[in-house]
Amino acid sequence: MAKETEIICIMCPLACRVTVTIDDEGTITGVANYLCKEGQKYAMAECKFPGRILTTTVLTEGSLRKLLPVRTDRPVPKEQLMESMRYLSEIKVKPPIKMGQIIASNIIGTGVDLVASDDLPV
């Protein structure tokens, strides 16, 4: 049985509700209800890999600032966001840290790295 999924396109304020049809093998067999190519592309990508850049903070030690803002370098699968957060709650970092520095590699086996999104001076 083919399955239909509705994806709200975020490429423009029109917010098309795009219908994507997926067959039993997980192959996309149809895309409908979009008004431009961007919408078609977005809906297909979102069906294949619904990933999000995770932005959060980690605790610091030995700094006047309590938290360091961090981000993933690539999207994390949507359903693994909460598990990633639980894992990252254990992390503590010490200064000095430069923006872009890797804070944790391959978080919960996603292959995604966590990087500092700001400097943490001493």
Partner 1 sequence: MVTQDIDVAVIGAGPAGLAAAIKAKEAGAEKVTIIERAEQPGGLLHQCIHNGFGLAYFNEDLTGPEYARRFIEKATDLKIDMQLESMVLDLTAAKNITVSSKKGLRTLHVKAVVLAMGCREKTRQQIMIPGTRPAGIFTAGTAQRYVNVEGYIPGKKIVILGSGDVGMIMARRLTLEGAKVEAVVEILPYIGGLIRNEVQCVHDFNIPLFLEHTVTEIFGLKRIEAVTIAKVDKNQEPITGTEKTIECDTLLTSVGLIPENELSLKAGIELDPITGGPFVNDMMETSIPGIFAGGNVVHVNDLVDNVTLESEVAGACAAGYAMGKVPPTKRKIGLKAGKNIRYIVPHTIGTEKEVTLSMRVREPAEKVKLRVGDILTKSLRVVKPSEMLKVNLTLEQLSKIEDRTNEVEVSCEKRG
Shortest reach from residue 9's CB to partner 1, in Å: 8
User: Is 55 a residue that touches partner 1 (CB under 8 A)?
Assistant: yes
Q: Is 98 helix (H, G, I), strand (E, B) or coil?
A: coil
* 8 contacts partner 1 (rule: CB under 8 A): yes
- 34-41 LR contacts (CB < 8 Å, sep 24+): 34/9, 36/11, 36/12, 38/9, 38/11, 38/12, 39/9, 39/11
Among 3, 99, 102, 106, binds partner 1 (CB under 8 A): 99
- The first and second tokens of residue 105, run together, are 């590699």
What does the DSSP 8-state code read for residue 109? G
**Closer of 33 and 57 to partner 1 (Cβ):** 57
Q: Could you say which residues in the range 18-37 bind partner 1, by CB under 8 A?
A: 35
Is 45 a residue that touches partner 1 (CB under 8 A)? Answer: no
